[in-house]
Amino acid sequence: MKAIVNIMRQDITTALRDNIVIYLIIAPLLFSFGLRFFLPSVEKAELSFAVDIGIQKEIAENLETYAKVELFNGEEAVKRRVEAIDSVPGVLMVDGELTLIFEGNEESQVMETYKSILDQVTFGEELITVQHQFIGTDKSVLLEMLTIVVIMLASLFGGVVSGFNIVAEKESNAIRAMSVSPVSTFVYIAARGLLALIIGTTIAIASSFIMAGRTINYMQLVIALLASFGITIIITMIMGRFANNQISAIAVIKVLMPIYLTVPIMSVFINEKFHYLFYWLPNYWQFQLLSNIYFAGPQRFSFALATILTFITSTIFMLLVSRSFSKQLKLR
């Protein structure tokens, strides 16, 4: 234990002398401040119609009592608006009749709501009853998604900081002295991994507090970060294995970051029946684990299951990478 503490103490001293490492520590915090400042804390759900200016003024005014009305000059302009990425239907006059046009990928409930509103405006019949329920103003889906990304970045940068210390030892040839010292591979990896965990956990909790405040369960967040410990160590060992100087270390980061973040983010946009393709990846389970903390509503996997699978998959990968790492650095 004393050897682990001594290595950690040396690493902290080395890290504080390196401007790049200091930037990596504060970068997620700066990113969090920026996102919290520029992103709205609330996403407002608002119904909108894209309306041809050729329809009766009275109809447009009546629609405005139910939803936002965007006026466009001509049928083609209305259709271009309907084809945008959001769900806004168009209202056109076709053969003397009001016609509601959709892009075709809207939810059936959304389509029925718009149809009912148009029927009410056209025929004056009370076809729907709308109830309003306040669910809070401090949640934003986009903000929650970006918060998860920042937390994952915190784990990444925690591993990167320890990785830079290994690279510094390789660059100064101090690693050769380490290889003939009584320090074992386990002690060496444990010291670097523990420091990475402490740095990553500290950054993650601070970033989460900036972006989510007290709206989440921080005990669950600590458990999630501990379960992701293997991922942090993997990043540290990959840095130490493949980088020989700061330039090559930065190159390794550029490769690691998109791989680490792209897979879980991709899973959001891929049909769930294909998610089995990601089950072997620890960062997929880490994303599912953090989703249980930050996303409201039911999740595909429970917090407990995601925690267990994050720990198991990351541990397997950690053991595989550690063998290559110890052989390359010729540690005891």
Cβ neighbour number for residue 71 with a 10 Å cutoff: 14
Q: What is the pLDDT of residue 127?
A: 44
Cβ neighbour number for residue 12 with a 10 Å cutoff: 14
Domain residue spans in the chain?
2-39+139-329, 48-123
CA 265 to chain centroid, in Å, comes to 7
CA 202 to chain centroid, in Å, comes to 18
Q: Name the burial class of residue 228, with classes exposed (0-12), middle (13-18) and buried (19+) by CB atoms within 10 angstroms of its CB.
A: buried
DSSP assigned state of 188: H
- Measuring CA to CA, which residue among 258, 51, 299 is closest to residue 149? 258
Q: Are 7 and 140 a contacting pair, CB within 8 Å?
A: no
- pLDDT tens per residue, the chain (332 residues)? 676 777 677 767 766 677 777 877 788 888 888 877 776 543 444 678 888 888 878 888 888 877 888 888 888 888 888 877 667 888 888 777 778 888 776 667 777 888 888 777 776 654 444 343 333 444 556 778 888 989 998 888 888 888 888 888 887 777 666 666 666 777 777 888 888 888 889 999 999 998 888 888 999 999 999 999 999 999 988 988 888 888 888 898 888 888 898 888 888 888 888 889 999 999 999 999 999 998 866 788 999 999 999 999 999 999 998 888 777 666 65
Q: Which helix (H) or strand (E) holds 68?
A: strand 68-72
Cross-strand bridge partners of residue 94 = 97
90-94 and 97-101 as β-strands: parallel, antiparallel, unpaired?
A: antiparallel
Which runs of consecutive H residues, i.e. helices, occur in the chain?
2-16, 19-38, 57-64, 75-82, 108-123, 141-171, 174-179, 185-212, 218-227, 229-242, 246-269, 282-294, 303-329
Cross-strand bridge partners of residue 98 = 93
Q: Are 227 and 303 a contacting pair, CB within 8 Å?
A: no
Cross-strand bridge partners of residue 93 = 98
d(C-alpha 195, C-alpha 73), whole Å: 62
Q: What is the pLDDT of residue 192?
A: 80
Q: Would you say the pTM of this structure is higher than 0.85?
A: no
